[in-house]
Amino acid sequence: MTLHNSEIKDPALAEVGRQRIEWASREMPVVRLIRQRFGAEKPLKGVRIAACLHITTETANLALALKEGGAELVLCASNPLSTQDDVAAALVDYGIPTNAIKGEDEATYYRHINTALDTNPQLTVDDGADLVTTLHSKRSDLLSGVIGGTEETTTGVVRLRSLAKAGRLKYPIIAVNDAQTKYLFDNRYGTGQSTIDGITRATNILWAGKKVVVCGYGWCGHGIALRARGLGAQVIVVEVAPVRALEAVMDGYQVMPLREAAKVGDIFITATGDKNVIDEAHFQAMKDGAILANSGHFNVEINIPALESLARRKRRLRGFVDEYTLADGRHLYLLGEGRLINLAAAEGHPASVMDMSFANQALCLEYMVKNRGKLEPRVYSVPEEIDQEVARLKLHAMGIEIDRLTPEQEEYLTSWEEGT
Ligand SMILES: NC(=O)c1ccc[n+]([C@@H]2O[C@H](COP(=O)([O-])OP(=O)(O)OC[C@H]3O[C@@H](n4cnc5c(N)ncnc54)[C@H](O)[C@@H]3O)[C@@H](O)[C@H]2O)c1
């Protein structure tokens, strides 16, 4: 339904969305603090922001903080299947134009991105870099008005670094993903818990005793493996990077090539940021009943076209479960159409970790405006003082105190003279 520069599923869902946004806010004390300060200081006054993010309750709390800071904000979805329609309705109700409908097709997805770009944004907030790449490739007439941007996820940062390396990135972007207070918590504990949650909600399987194959032992893979083991699963890790594979071995997991793991796994979860990680030869080796899910950013980690062409029958058994029957009668079950399962079948990350990711987002956007014109068109790290500040505020909100260095220790840790 189209209204006030927005396209959402159903405005009548707004009240439910508002209540859920309020509930998430209880777990987002750092964003709440920033929102209060932004309300008083208005650091984003009149700044036009286009944000391409998963439309969830946590994103809504970030959006409200940016609006409170004076921003003129428009939102669109960063994935066709991750939108919470009640949240989209509530955002429109709060006066924030939103273009996102759960299950939208690719043409609608890009139309929504273009609607957000039509506002001529000065700042971009992206999750996966679809907004920024559309801006650079198809809407380059708008680039001159952009001050800067932020990027939320690993895959987006990889794409932007590649754009910068080709000399084609036209404005500065801060890689929020690479803040310690982001990836150590959001990617690890957030993706860990919510991926298990998404698969459980989609299938209602028992994890205890299952052989779970985790492809990719980055921060997301760390979290998924940790939580699956916690539920009693036997975890096998598949990697291509020697150091990470070694780390997985010493963390106590079995490590083997996917062609071997394919024969024994009950559940396969990808979190690599790579494509065709689970491919035709692997499908051919899998046991009857194997379950396939992806938690990486794009739906390319499992080779779905290959699975489609191997299958002689496909049917939807539950909301997010597609059964593929292969020529020899085996069944493979693909969850959430291979899209990030934690957002497709569950609610994405718990608010408490998004509190830190989105605190980084808000503070980096403020930093961009303060440093307008001073930054070069490249991918920047989150300033160290912002990263530390987010950790300090989070600890404070949790009621946890830590020790401080004494002056003597400070001196010792910055000098070379003292030895044995
Ligand atoms: N589901 C979510 O909510 C969510 C949250 C954060 C990040 N992500 C996405 O998850 C993906 C992983 O993120 P990360 O931060 O863990 O990345 P990362 O770069 O830290 O880890 C990815 C790992 O995958 C490994 N890998 C690459 N190709 C492989 C292959 N063919 N087989 C086995 N391993 C392979 C790499 O060696 C690396 O160790 C990215 O796409 C990221 O954008 C999703």
Token pair belonging to 260 = 């071997």
Q: Which of 187, 249, 295, 343 to mutate to test the pocket of ligand 1 (most atoms within 8 A of CB)?
A: 187
**3 state SS of 386:** helix
Q: For 36, list phi and psi in degrees, rounded to 5.
A: -60, -50
> Which residue owns the Cα nearest ligand 1 atom 38?
218
Token pair belonging to 89 = 């309705």
Q: Angle, to 10 degrees, between the axis of helix 29-41 and the axis of helix 384-397?
A: 120
**What integer is the mean pLDDT of 324-339?**
97
Strand partners, 379: 173
**What digits encode the pLDDT tens for the residues 140-199?**
999 999 999 999 999 999 999 999 999 999 999 999 999 999 999 999 999 999 999 999
pLDDT score recorded for residue 420: 86
Is ligand 1 within 6 A of the CB of residue 273? yes
Does 1 score more than 70 pLDDT?
Answer: no
Atom of ligand 1 nearest to the CA of 277: 31
Q: Do β-strands 321-326 and 311-318 pair in parallel, antiparallel, or remain unpaired?
A: antiparallel
Task: Sort residue 337 into left (φ over 0), alpha (ψ -120 to 50) or beta.
Answer: left
pLDDT score recorded for residue 4: 61
Token pair belonging to 339 = 């899209």
Residue 295 Cα to ligand 1 middle (Å): 8
Residue 125 Cα to ligand 1 middle (Å): 21
Atom of ligand 1 nearest to the CA of 341: 1
* Predicted structure pTM score: 0.94
Does 55 score more than 80 pLDDT?
Answer: yes
Q: Do β-strands 72-77 and 321-326 pair in parallel, antiparallel, or remain unpaired?
A: unpaired
Atom of ligand 1 nearest to the CA of 221: 16
Specify the amino acid at residue 301: E
Q: Are 162 and 404 in contact (CB under 8 A)?
A: no
Is ligand 1 within 6 A of the CB of residue 299? no
**What digits encode the pLDDT tens for the residues 305-321?**
999 999 999 999 999 99
Is ligand 1 within 6 A of the CB of residue 274? yes
**What digits encode the pLDDT tens for the residues 386-402?**
999 999 999 999 999 99
> Which residue owns the Cα nearest ligand 1 atom 41?
273
Sign of CA dihedral 270, 272, 278, 282: negative
Residue with tokens 């004390």: 29
Is ligand 1 within 6 A of the CB of residue 296? yes
Strand partners, 49: 73, 123
Q: Calculate ∠ Cα 295-298-301, nearest 5°.
A: 70
Spatial strand order in the sheet of 267-270: 254-255, 234-238, 211-215, 267-270, 290-294, 331-335, 321-326, 311-318
Which H or E run includes 408? helix 407-413
- Residue 80 CA, chain-centre distance (Å), reads 13
Cβ contacts of 259 within 8 Å, gap of 6 or more? 281, 282, 285
Is ligand 1 within 6 A of the CB of residue 272? yes
Q: Give the CA distances from residue 386 to residues 177, 188, 360, 371, in Å, rounded to whole numbers and listed in that order.
A: 13, 20, 7, 14
**3 state SS of 17:** helix
Residue 237 Cα to ligand 1 middle (Å): 13
Residue 221 Cα to ligand 1 middle (Å): 7
Is ligand 1 within 6 A of the CB of residue 198? no
Is ligand 1 within 6 A of the CB of residue 71? no
Is ligand 1 within 6 A of the CB of residue 240? yes
Q: Are 303 and 279 in contact (CB under 8 A)?
A: yes
Does 99 score more than 80 pLDDT?
Answer: yes
Q: Are 119 and 48 in contact (CB under 8 A)?
A: yes
Residue 154 Cα to ligand 1 middle (Å): 7
Distance CA 47, CA 285 (A): 54
Q: Which of 220, 222, 226, 301 to mutate to test the pocket of ligand 1 (most atoms within 8 A of CB)?
A: 220
Lowest mean pLDDT among 4-13, 56-65, 135-144, 219-228: 4-13
Q: What is the mean pLDDT of the chain?
A: 97
